[in-house]
Amino acid sequence: MAKAFPQYFKRVFDDYQVLVQVNPEDFTGIELIVQPDGKIEKTDMEFDEEIFEDLAADEFIHCNVLEFQMHLAKTR
């Protein structure tokens, strides 16, 4: 069985943005909140099976893995 790749989403709010990585195999992932001052908050997440519907309802869009990884690298 082929391994599923993580999926990446983002939403830009007025003064910050949220990026989300979701592993579709076990519904784990990472949430990054990018503040206007450049500070990035990282949270390890556990989602439920409805995460993709929830993200769509909250108007998240797919984003590029590179964009997510660039922000993630700033948290280390």
Instruction: For 2-39, write each residue's pLDDT tens digit.
Output: 788 999 999 999 999 999 999 999 999 999 999 999 99
Band of pLDDT at residue 73, cut at 50, 70 and 90? very high
Q: What is the mean pLDDT of residues 35-49?
A: 97
Of 58, 40, 47, residue with least CA distance to 7: 47
Q: Which of 2-6, 50-54, 58-62 has the lowest mean pLDDT?
A: 2-6
Q: Is the pLDDT of residue 48 over 80?
A: yes
Q: Cite the beta strand spans of 1-76 per DSSP E.
A: 7-12, 17-23, 28-34, 40-46, 61-62
- pTM for this one? 0.93
**Residue 8 and residue 29 in contact, taking contact as beta carbons nearer than 8 Å:** no
Whole-number pLDDT of residue 1:
61
Every domain of the chain and the residues it spans: 7-73
